């Protein structure tokens, strides 16, 4: 299916939407104030060993100490998913035993005060600090470099046997001793010189990281991964992507230089958006985001699903709603469940739901119907790039699954616990509303007018006038308008008015 990548860049944040068949299926947002730490490499110091939990706290100079599990010191091959396919003859098992650490407790592997080279595998989530691993991976466009790991893996998404054999032969030929490589999906159809160029870049990067490690003392950041816009080029661009559209001229020029240097074949897919309407409005993404923040999602038939996210898990409930069907009850239930399957798979991917997920389908009496729903759901989840494990549907109509969680879900990023209901629900955060208002101001400023009046809840108005004042001034200068911000404590936090004089 043809795909598109759309990027909206402002002074405050970058937002990326991956579209398949015109519908946004993956959405990423990165704010300048709290950019993702995943893949960053640090020289840290073990500050506390917890033998009872077989883990350690590592000081990396962040607000909270990072968490290092003993499994992340031993042999973290799982962290290479979804790129890695286990080789025949049990290479993965041999790899673990070669390290000689498979059954050692954490207190024998590291000591308090010891300096460690670690890489962030999961961002801080909720009250937890970042999770780190001592096995470093450096992803390029076509390859992933694994220092000190003698292994070759290949993406499961490369299905052609001849192509797999060809790529493996090339990589075996260019792989330096003492390193492992994973062949990424984007390498399909690549020639040896392209793969070699990618490898040379990664080896140089690793050499620079090693040199810096020897010069500095812990805690210290050694390597900062690419920002969201450049990661989108590196990780999301595949042969199915027809175009990569961005609305910032400055970022467009940066990306062109980056692509011209490292991935010249992609250059003709990069486009600058110059439409009058904001890019996410033009493609309907803003509506999809608002829908994804809702608890209830309606199905075309009249049924609906309810998504409830808790600290420990996400629960998704399926209901017939207004759908009464035309045949028997079992047929109505089956049709609702099958329709819900596609929407649930879509919502899991779009909302970036992770951890334990329980799906409560409407109870079906016939085993063959339960099998149909289970098979339909596993098929629908095949498009998901995140690693997931799905367990068979139970007698109660429940599907239990796990999905790898690396970052906070969309709802957790864009919203905060609601002060009006003591955390039982969510409202958009003042910062999210602030950036929404900025987009609204820009939209109205293009239509003309000298003054724009913004009336908002005090928490939002104060943020605009204080922390985000520079952003407001930048908009005023760019569009030649004067923006007046007024507080109204009678407004609900999510309500605001933007009017042109």
Q: What is the CATH number of the domain that holds 438?
A: 3.40.1260.20
- Looking at residue 83, what is its pLDDT? 45
Name the 3-class secondary structure at 236.
helix
Binning pLDDT at 50, 70 and 90, where does residue 213 land? very high
SS3 238: coil
Cβ-based neighbours of 187, under 8 Å, separated by 6 or more: 142, 143, 155, 158, 167, 194, 195
Per-residue model confidence (pLDDT) at position 396? 80
CA geometry: angle 116, 117, 118, nearest 5 deg: 105
Instruction: Specify if 246 maps to a domain.
Output: yes
Residue 321 in 3-state DSSP? coil
**Is there a contact between 418 and 427 (Cβ–Cβ < 8 Å)?**
yes
Residue where a domain stops, chosen among 224, 244, 269 = 224
pLDDT for 78 equals 44
Q: Is residue 416 part of a domain?
A: no
The reported pLDDT for the residue numbered 74 is: 54
Tokens of 48: 């506390």
Q: What are phi and psi of 19, to 5 degrees?
A: -105, 140
* pLDDT for position 323: 66
In whole angstroms, what is the distance from residue 96 CA to residue 390 CA?
26
**Does 49 lie in the same domain as 22?**
no
Number of domain units in the chain:
4
Reported confidence tier of residue 99, pLDDT bands at 50, 70, 90: very low
Does residue 176 lie within any of the structural domains?
yes
**Average of per-residue pLDDT across 205-231:** 92
- Do residue 312 and residue 344 come from a single domain? yes
Domain that holds residue 347: 294-410
pLDDT, average across residues 361-369: 88
Q: Are residues 162 and 246 in the same domain?
A: no
Question: Are 220 and 96 within one domain?
Answer: yes
Same domain? For 115 and 88 the reply is yes
Q: Find the CATH number of the domain harbouring 242.
A: 3.30.420.60
- Residues 27, 350 contacting (CB under 8 angstroms): yes
Task: Classify residue 424: in a domain, yes or no.
Answer: no
Tens digit of each residue's pLDDT (9 = 90 or more) over 458-498: 999 999 999 999 999 999 999 999 999 999 999 988 899 99
- Is 417 part of a structural domain of the chain? no
* Rounded-to-integer distance, Cα 216 and Cα 208, Å: 13
Alpha-carbon gap, residue 181 to 145, rounded angstroms: 5
| pLDDT for 327 | 67
Q: pLDDT class for 387, splitting at 50, 70, 90?
A: confident
Domain boundary among 239, 267, 286: 286
Q: Residues near 292 by Cβ (< 8 Å), separated by ≥ 6?
A: 27, 347, 350, 351, 410, 411
Residues 75 and 162 in one domain: yes
CB 49 within 8 A of CB 111: yes
Q: What is the rounded average pLDDT for all residues in the chain? A: 86
pTM value? 0.76
HSE, side-chain direction, 13 A CA sphere, residue 155: 21
Could you tell me if residue 244 is inside a domain?
yes
Asked if 376 and 470 sit in the same domain, the reply is no
């Amino acid at each position: 299916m043809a795909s598109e990548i759309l990027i909206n860049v402002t002074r405050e944040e970058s937002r990326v939407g991956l579209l398949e068949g015109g519908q946004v299926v993956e959405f990423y947002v990165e704010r300048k104030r709290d950019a993702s730490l995943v893949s960053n490499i640090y020289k840290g110091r073990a500050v506390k060993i917890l033998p009872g939990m077989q883990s350690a706290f590592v000081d990396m100079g962040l607000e909270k100490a990072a968490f290092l599990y003993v499994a992340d010191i031993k042999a973290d091959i799982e962290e290479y998913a979804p790129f890695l396919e286990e080789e025949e003859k049990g290479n993965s098992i041999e790899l673990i035993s070669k390290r000689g650490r498979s059954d050692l407790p954490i207190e024998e592997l590291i000591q308090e005060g010891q300096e460690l080279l670690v890489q962030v595998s999961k961002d801080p989530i909720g009250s937890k600090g970042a999770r780190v691993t001592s096995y470093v991976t450096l992803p390029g466009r076509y390859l992933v470099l694994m220092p000190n790991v003698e292994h070759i893996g290949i993406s499961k998404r490369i299905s052609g046997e001849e192509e797999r054999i060809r790529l493996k032969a090339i990589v075996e030929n260019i792989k330096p001793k003492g390193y492992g490589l994973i062949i990424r999906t984007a390498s399909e159809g690549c020639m040896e010189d392209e793969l070699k160029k990618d490898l040379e870049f990664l080896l140089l990067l690793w050499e620079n990281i090693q040199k810096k490690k020897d010069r500095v003392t812990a805690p210290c950041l050694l390597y900062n991964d690419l920002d969201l816009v450049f990661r989108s080029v590196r990780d999301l661009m595949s042969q199915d992507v027809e175009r990569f559209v961005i609305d910032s001229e400055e970022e467009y020029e940066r990306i062109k230089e980056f692509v011209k240097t490292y991935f010249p074949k992609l250059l003709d897919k990069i486009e600058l958006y110059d439409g009058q309407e904001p890019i996410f409005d033009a493609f309907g993404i803003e509506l999809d985001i608002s829908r994804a923040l809702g608890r209830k999602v309606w199905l075309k038939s009249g049924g609906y699903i309810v998504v409830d996210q808790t600290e420990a898990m996400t629960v998704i409930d399926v209901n017939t709603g207004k759908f009464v069907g035309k045949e028997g009850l079992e047929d109505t239930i089956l049709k609702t469940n099958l329709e819900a399957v596609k929407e649930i798979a879509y919502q899991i991917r779009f909302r970036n739901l992770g951890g334990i997920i329980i799906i409560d389908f409407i109870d079906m009496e016939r085993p063959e119907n339960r099998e149909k729903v289970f098979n339909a759901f596993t098929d629908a989840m095949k498009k998901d790039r995140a690693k997931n494990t799905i367990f068979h549907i139970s007698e109660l109509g429940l599907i239990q699954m796990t999905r790898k969680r690396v970052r906070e879900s969309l709802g957790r990023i864009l919203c905060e616990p609601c002060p009006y209901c003591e955390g039982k629900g969510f409202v958009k955060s003042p910062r999210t509303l602030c950036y929404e208002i900025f987009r609204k101001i820009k939209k109205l400023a293009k239509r003309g007018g000298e003054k724009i009046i913004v009336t908002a809840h005090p928490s939002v108005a104060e943020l605009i006038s204080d922390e985000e004042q520079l952003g407001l001034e930048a908009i005023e200068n760019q569009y030649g308008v004067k923006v007046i911000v007024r507080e109204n404590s009678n407004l609900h936090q999510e309500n605001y008015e933007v009017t042109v004089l």
